[in-house]
Amino acid sequence: MLRQRLWMIPIGQWVGYLGAALALWALWEGLSPWWLLAWASGHVLGGLAISVALHRYFTHGAFQTTPFWHTAMALASCIVLQGSPLAWAAAHQTHHAHSDGQGDPHDTRLWYLLWKTYRAVPMVRWRLQALLDDRVLKAVHRNALVVALAWVLLLLALGLATGTFLAPLVFGYLAPMGTVQLVGAVHQVASHRGGGARDMPWLEWLLPAAGEWRHAHHHDHPRDAQLGRRWWHLDYGWWFIRAIRTK
């Protein structure tokens, strides 16, 4: 049986938080503010990896795409240190099946902003069977950490080759992962306040999450690949899906 990799999530969270602190310190020390563009781009891409790849595609099967994008999204899912699509899908399906109840693995206490752990509940497994039949996903699950480390080495090599040293790694990966993790944590804590899923699309402008702030809509229609219905819902996850979907 494949083992869960949810333990990666709080580690990824703190690698990201420390990366963001390092990036702010480097800017304070006089590094060019142009590096903020790399941070913003990384934040958008990381948000897409979670919202489009892990959430809408692998977990909910909300659209179909080509083998190229299937593989690219599987790799991206590991690079954002979310424990591979198999682990994420099981936890998230369980959240949908038991949201706000005893069987919900999601913790909505403020503590989650600092340490992303999940409540130990029996996991819903029906979605896993379809994912387990997928050779790409099985390989990626077994090598999730290797994929993430390969990405780190690639960015380090880029820094050495261009004389920018740690900047591509910190601003292109670690700092964006910090803000993606922070937004994800606030989303989990805030979107189920008051005993049910909530729609707060205006928060997309403050804490961009690729369209995920329409969470009540998502719980009502989990297989709807389009979360936003108005331009100001800023569902850039859907804009990306429109470009890569085949069905």
Residue closer to Zn ion, measured from CB, 15 or 131:
131
Structure-token pair, residue 153? 């080495």
166: phi then psi, degrees, rounded to nearest 5 = -80, -10
> Which residue number, 70 or 96, has a Cβ lying nearer to Zn ion?
96
Name the residue nearer to Zn ion (CB basis): 197 or 210.
Answer: 197
Judged by CB under 5 A, the stretch of 113-121, 135-143, 192-200, 223-231 that binds Zn ion is 192-200
Of the ranges 169-177, 196-204, 223-231, 239-247, which one interacts with Zn ion (CB under 5 A)? 196-204
Q: How many residues bind Zn ion (CB under 5 A)?
A: 1
Stretch that binds Zn ion, among 26-34, 77-85, 118-126, 194-202 (CB under 5 A): 194-202
Neighbours of 238 (CB within 10 A): 24
Residues 6+ apart with CB under 8 A from 96: 124, 219, 222
DSSP state of 121: -
DSSP 182-232: HHHHHHHHHTTTTSS--B-GGGGGTS--TTTTBHHHHHH-TT-S----SGG
Q: Contact letters (x/-) for Zn ion, 83-122, by CB under 5 A?
A: ----------------------------------------
Residue with Cβ nearer Zn ion (52 or 197): 197
